[in-house]
Amino acid sequence: MSSVPNLLIGLSCPGCGGAVDVTEGSRLAFCPYCGSALAIIADDAGVARLMYKMDVTETEAESAARKWFGAFPKARDLAATAVITEIFPMYLPFWSMVGTGKGIACGYSTHTNKDGHTQTTYHEDSSDAEYLWSVIACQTGDLGIVTPPELNGRLLPYTEGDIPVFETTSSRDEAYDQADTDIRMEAHRRAASGIETLTFSKTFCIPREFSLLYYPYWIIRYQYRERDYFVVLDGVSGSPVSGRAPGDQTYQALAAGLGAGFGGLFAGLGIAYAMFSDSEYALAGLSGLVIGLILVLAGYWMFRFGSEVTEGKLTGGISFSMKGFGQKTVREIER
């Protein structure tokens, strides 16, 4: 589940000039000073463009990167010897929709009893919940950012040219249609859960807010032993979201040795136990064999690919980070 962040943007009242805060995606606001009711009219494409405030300074970003350099299983001398060649802020665009998804599903399921009779169970069900949908709106090349962050922080109106941004590569209509489809599919998935054959279904997506949000990152490029690497940090929280770093040959050798040693030991003991124990305990021996094989494979994986360590959704190298995995495009809102 996801919670709706307290999204606020600062605009000026045309009557008194006072600062007006409105919730993201809202088309209506009021001035807390003169009380005027105000209509918020989005840009030509009919979409509100907003940006999150960069909370992490360049110094903090460099410090966070050096902390990341020192984390296992990267090269042990990386933090001391890496040379940062470039550090710059970048804003990536994300499409975002908050909307209610409703679904109705009817159908039946069949199953065969022990006596061979087929039994049919009829179903009718519904789902009704509010969702947050968000997807990246640009191509990030080799940066490996494909999933949206947990959108946090303070929102500001976006003014073209004020900040460095990745160009939006998907259209507003495409994104809107995709959000509508994804929210409907989630509503349908919940309503139709457990129904084998559908005979009637209907879904609704009722959008409340639709925006293009620019989220800040720090991109840090560095060199280690004359090879180029990079790390991308979240500009609000300062945590690493993707990156490449050199691995450590000692860790690789240790992993291969320990994996083969302990793996062989477990496998051997497992086989012996399976062969010489009572048949009802043979399964325990087989599980020892499986654990042994997993240890051998894990050791080989670390040895084979451990020359590079990756963070986020990047190909190659080894990664112990689960960031971005399992993160859904559509998340239910909890308040």
Token pair for 250: 């000692």
Q: How far apart are CA 248 and CA 317, in angstroms?
A: 12
Among 112, 159, 279, 315, binds other proteins (CB under 8 A): 159
Cα 327 to its chain centre, rounded Å, is: 4
Q: CA-CA distance, 107 to 199, in Å (whole number)?
A: 5
CA distance 220 to 240: 10
Closest approach of other proteins to the CB of residue 154, in Å: 16
The distance from CA 296 to its chain's CA centroid, rounded to whole angstroms, is 31
Q: Would you state the structure tokens that stand for residue 4, as one six-digit string?
A: 């709706």
Instruction: Select 48 or 54, whichever has its Cβ closest to other proteins.
Output: 48
Residue closer to other proteins by CB (options 204, 300) is 204
Q: Which residue among 2, 5, 8, 40 contacts other proteins (CB under 8 A)?
A: 40
Please identify which residue in 81, 109, 110, 126 interacts with other proteins, judged by CB under 8 A.
126
The contacts of residue 133 (CB under 8 Å, 6+ apart) are: 95, 96, 97, 98, 99, 179, 182, 183, 329, 330, 331
Rounded CA-CA distance 142/277 in Å is: 54
Residues 61-120 close enough to bind other proteins by CB under 8 A: 100, 102, 104, 106-108
Binding residue for other proteins (CB under 8 A) from 3, 43, 139, 277?
43
Rounded to a whole number of angstroms, the minimum distance from the CB of residue 62 to other proteins is 32
**Distance of alpha carbon 9 from alpha carbon 3, whole angstroms:** 18
Token look-up 């809102």 returns: 333
Binding-residue pattern over the window 44 to 63 for other proteins, x denoting contact by CB under 8 A:
x---xx--------------
Q: Does residue 37 interact with other proteins by CB under 8 A?
A: yes
208 contributes a contact to other proteins by CB under 8 A: yes
In the block, residue with structure tokens 């690919």? 305
Shortest gap between Cβ of 32 and other proteins (angstroms)? 9
Binding mask 168-187 for other proteins (x = CB under 8 A): --------------------
Return residues touching other proteins (CB under 8 A).
11-15, 20, 22-23, 26-30, 35-44, 48-49, 100, 102, 104, 106-108, 122-126, 128-130, 157-160, 199-200, 202, 204, 206, 208, 333, 335
